[in-house]
Structure 1
Amino acid sequence: MLFYIVDAFADKPFGGNAAGVVILGPCDEFPSDEIMINVAAELKYSETAFVKPISGSQFKIRYFMPAAEVDLCGHATIGAFGVLMDCGLVRDNAAYLLDTRSGQREVSLKDGLIIMDMSSPKVMAEITSPAKLKELTRVMGISAGDVGMTPQLISTGLPDIILNVKTKEALMKIKPDFPALAKLSEEYQAVGVHAFALNANRGTAVDQAIAHCRNFAPLYAIGEEAATGTSNGALTFYLYKHGFVQEEKWNLFLQGESMNRPSRIMSILQRAPGDNTDQAIRIKIGGDYKILVKGDLYL
């Protein structure tokens, strides 16, 4: 089997979030879960995607962290379709169907940019209690005074606690207590915390980024991640509800700056005509990729 290492959400090597990608043949069966977990642990990236062609326009994908399988992963999807492009299994300016544990979704390629559908957004909880807010900020190593808008647990495929801090300086000083954050994430049934600060210079001629972001998921053996597609999908919905994101307009999120792995994640929010419910909202995440390594996996 072919395996790759790909930097997703990156416009140059050694940026973005690295993912492993394993390509199966159309007649191959997926390896056992134990083997796929072991491969993910051996490659030592936060996620490794295993991809199998179903037809010329449809693929099945499974995502593995070093400790467990997950339903969806944005950066590994971006990386996987970059690999499929390299293998000649997909082409630019075309759309494809992707079967995941979180359902079937469309992935399209447009002028080299890979764009994927998120699941319908869901607000699963809101952290309004002063005691709960104090607990969250203590775990994250900041004060309650650093928090801006009310934190919410939101999913567009995977649930994250969306935590707004008032300034980029406050964002960069976050230093979580990882064991406590893993326990808190388990209590909220969240992957982790996606913290962000609105970009003070957003919308200017020289700086179009809407926010700076950091993501922490120690429950899944990830300290900090440089780029997270599903988390920024959830953040897109959060900012839409707070009036910072407009329908049918592309948004740019910057992540990985604290890790010296700069990432650029694009999103767009669309609504089905004539339906004002949240179920009518669709969010797409897009990004570039850079392939770093290609080789053979012997199993």
Structure 2
Amino acid sequence: MERVKAEIWQSFVREDGLGGNPAGVVIHNGSLTREQMQVVARKLDVSETAFVEHVSNRTKLGCYQVLFYTPDGSQVSLCGHATIAAGGRIFTSGDFANQRKFSERYERSGRWCETEVRMENDMIFYQQEIPSHTEYLSWGGICDSLGLTYEDFDERFDPTKILTDALIALEKDSLERLPAEYPVKDLRRALDDEQLQGVHLFALGKGDPVAQCRNLAPAVGINEEAATGSVTGLLAHVLRNQSLLTRDQLQGALMRFEQGETEHTPASNLFVRFKGEEVWVGGRVRKVREQKIDL
């Protein structure tokens, strides 16, 4: 029986190593089929697993092709915390361990896209893909499924659809009151109606952090994510467009977002920085364990 070596990395941890979101990382030479990747992702049973293949030295960066799968077999395009985890693996023990950046190819809607991943001090950053447009979201169906009412909303922010997610701002006490156990089937049905994968609920802060967040994605088998890099980057982009950030933040100051705090789990720390029009998402990462998976 063939066995595959997998590693678990915790992305977006705090300086003390707590918090964060686990992701699987599998380095392979192109021999794994997509069906085998789905088997590995299911057995690892973390929210996303990155399957990393070194495909080219055509640039000074080196290029890795990465596919992302969830435990239920769904493929996602670009997973932020799994990208940070893959960066942790590559920068510490890969072919480019002595370099500070590499190029990552990922698949979106049947085509290959590319981003850059960098090591900056003790954090790993990647450039977030930003769509050319967003859409206004009618909050009724999604919010009704969670028992939210109009009084729960922060009226400064316009609910937004961006790529596969909904962004909705709540008052801080409303976010904190939202229970960990929610009507999963009802929310999934509401997301399906909007052709979305998840909803990112957040409460704006008064400085640091910029926002406290929760991410619910039952449409891809994830009831709640402890840290979602890509959606955090998209949120920062929309906050910029809606004029809800400070001048320093707009000019490149490092912004911190908290996500996933519960009674028993400390919050993850996610960071975003603007470089001109570019959006860079990053955080700290630590290796948790290795394991062998039977195919």
TM category (shorter chain) comes to: 0.7 to 0.9
Q: 1:53 to 1:294 in 2, by over 3 A?
A: same
Alignment of structure 1 residues 156-171 onto 2, 5 Å: 159-167=164-172, 169-171=173-175
CA contact (8 A) 1:50 1:62 kept: yes
Q: Who is 1:116 aligned against?
A: 126
Q: 1:294 to 1:165 in 2, by over 3 A?
A: same
Structure 2: distance between partners of 1:256 and 1:161 = 17
Query: 1:174: how far off?
Result: 2.0
Structure 2: distance between partners of 1:190 and 1:247 = 31
Structure 2: distance between partners of 1:228 and 1:61 = 17
Structure 2: distance between partners of 1:3 and 1:86 = 15
User: How many positions carry a matched residue from both structures?
Assistant: 273
* Paired letter, 2:105: D
Structure 2: distance between partners of 1:195 and 1:92 = 39
The reply on whether 1:212 has 2:217 as its aligned counterpart is: no
Query: 1:13: how far off?
Result: 4.3
Q: 1:118 to 1:30 in 2, by over 3 A?
A: farther
> Structure 2: which 5+ runs fail to align?
none
Secondary structure in 1 matching 2:235: helix
Choose from 175, 180, 189 the match for 1:183. Answer: 189
Secondary structure in 2 matching 1:101: strand
Choose from 137, 143, 146 the match for 1:140. Answer: 146
> Structure 1: which 5+ runs fail to align?
203-207, 272-280
* Paired letter, 1:248: G
Structure 2: distance between partners of 1:92 and 1:124 = 39
Structure 1: distance between partners of 2:31 and 2:122 = 28
* Paired letter, 2:153: V
Could you list the runs of 4 or more consecutive aligned residues of structure 1 that deviate by over 6 angstroms after TM superposition?
none
Query: 1:122: how far off?
Result: 4.1
Secondary structure in 2 matching 1:257: coil
Q: Who is 1:151 aligned against?
A: 159
CA RMSD in angstroms comes to 1.8
- TM-score, structure 2 as length reference: 0.86
Structure 1: distance between partners of 2:238 and 2:56 = 36
Query: 1:289: how far off?
Result: 0.4
- TM-score, structure 1 as length reference: 0.85
CA contact (8 A) 2:45 2:71 kept: yes
Query: 1:298: how far off?
Result: 4.4
Q: Who is 2:96 aligned against?
A: 90
Q: 1:96 to 1:124 in 2, by over 3 A?
A: same
Q: Who is 2:253 aligned against?
A: 249
Secondary structure in 1 matching 2:26: strand
Q: 1:212 to 1:30 in 2, by over 3 A?
A: farther
